[in-house]
Structure 1
Amino acid sequence: MDPDLDLELSAMMETSVKDLCVPVAVIVAESGRRGRRRKLVRQLRIAGTTLAVAAVAIAGANAGLPLIEAGPRTGTEVGPAAPAAPLSPTPTPTPSVDPTPRSSPTATGTAGRHQSTKFPLEPVPVLGTTWPNTTSSGASPRQFTEGSVSSDLRWLLAKQNGQVSQAYPVNVDRGDGASAVYLAYADGDNPVTVELRLGRTELPLPADGSNPAQLPFRCGKDSGTAGNHSTACLGGYLPNGSWELVETNDARVTGLYSYRVAVWYPNGTVVDFTEYAGFVHDNGEPPSYVREKPPIDFLLWRSVTESPVWTYYVPVEGGGTGTG
């Protein structure tokens, strides 16, 4: 490179910057501003990442937690929603029974204040709503006699392949003031006995449905391999305010198996129906024609017992058995 040219270029550069004033304060301020902005960006990025990780962790933890109701309870609740516990010391499942809790009772009045236990089984179809003996003005009370009861039982079981007839001369009286009717039910196999009882009680409805120990609602007493042996016993309030008890009994000594359904109405009327798996004799002899189980399905037997037909009946005057 030409030495003279090099000297000329150096002189020109010195002259161009001779009067130049460098804004040091501006450069420092701008550098600080950019540094703070970059620091803020970094902090926001770190914070965003932390929140994202926390959100994922919380979502993963909540995925395994049950949902909890936070809504307030209404003032119309009358008791806990838990189903009644079996009343038998050694409860066992019952054929055709679906132990699903049903809806809350809606009855009011004196009984409604004590409705702390709902009936623990699903409702069954209502039979007898078109009872031919009812009128628009209501039916007159009927005596709970063998003739009337057997006629209405045949009507309720009209769709079943069975015949209802008198079991034996009616001379059985348990002395509790209720009217009792004993019928024979035959469906092509050996006949069995059905026992239908209707009475009235002055006792108030159970104050606590979990333990209907007072008469006339008492579960069969477990006595091991002798006498009455209840395999399951459940009780609770129906939506109409009535109290219902259902019981299965295997009666091990005699070989009988039975379905018992009893309904206690708020007005004091009590119906207590039992169907056996054999023919029960009125003279105390062991039952005969024993089957494996009662012929009428348990759910159907509940429908029969809960039928409004029986609310038109009254016990025969003087109690005992009805023969008319």
Structure 2
Amino acid sequence: MVSEYQSIDGFATAEGTKKFMENAIKNSMPRSHFRSFDKLNLTSLGMGTYLGQNTIEDDKNIENAIYESVKSGAINVIDSAINYRSMKSEKNIGHAIKRLVDDNIISRDQVFISTKNGYITNDGDYPAIDVLEYMHKMFISQGIIDSKDISSGYNVLNPNYIRKCIEKSLINMQLDTIDLVYIHNAYESWYEDVNKNEFIEMIYKVFQIYEEYRFKNKIKYYGMATWTCFRLPSKEKGYLSLEEMVKIAENVAGKEHGFRFIQLPYNLAYREAFLLKNQSVGPDSNLTILEACNKLNIGVFTSVPLLQTKLLSVNIPDYLGYNNQLLKIIQITRSTPNV
């Protein structure tokens, strides 16, 4: 693929994110707002880009929200997926970051940008072409994937598709390097279609592609964005062992592999990450997924802290001086150990 623009060089670094943190603190942001992982200083709140319509108005709103939130020092973590709003969310991120860099508000190394791939998608800038038509035209008819490569959950783990998604995400976001790429709800989308050994073989090949792009310096880390697989009892179908996934990465690239993050839901309704002891690491059993991540040196990003606003109506007692419903919900989530 040939891009028609100058991509933004760089990636999140220890020095850059420290500078962002120091500037934010100078502008009255508390030091406690930041978390440290692998020498990166990241805000305890990030911005997701899942919601919204495929409209020009929402494009502007999302772009401006990213711009103003980063400018204020409130966030330096931005998350997306290639299928969010049919690629338009990734493009909004690219426009916002370019404005921030061009306006000398930040440098690229101060912000941590993640995206996901795996789900099928179309391109929202060409709305006349629906998802299935787009997939056929761009991938199946060209022999890049076969129709059998699409799961019943509309997910594709074919390495050719993963490569194309990474390349397209780089273009969409106008970046030279993406800080973190997740495989998106992979097991949730495939466990009804393949057996465990087949899935492990598929994930092995996906991790090989991610390591290939790490070697090219096109991504820095990779991980798994999940919904249920790390939140189920270990005997249930659909459950995954995190240690097993880490061992796959080690088999691909040794101890210096790039599998360093997971994402999973955690909020007042979805409490399994903190309460359910469903993981084992080495001789240690009866661990929660958060405890397992700590032992395996895996960073955790949580999703849906407000459960898409559904938790705003839940009665939560005031505590520690918090009397605002939104702040109470967010604080409960981000104050959890290992998050």
Larger radius of gyration: 1
- Bigger proportion of residues as helix: 2
> Could you say which TM-score interval applies, normalised by the shorter chain?
under 0.3
TM-score, scaled relative to structure 2 = 0.20
Q: Which has the higher contact order (CA 8 A, sep 6+)?
A: 1
TM-score (norm. length: structure 1): 0.21
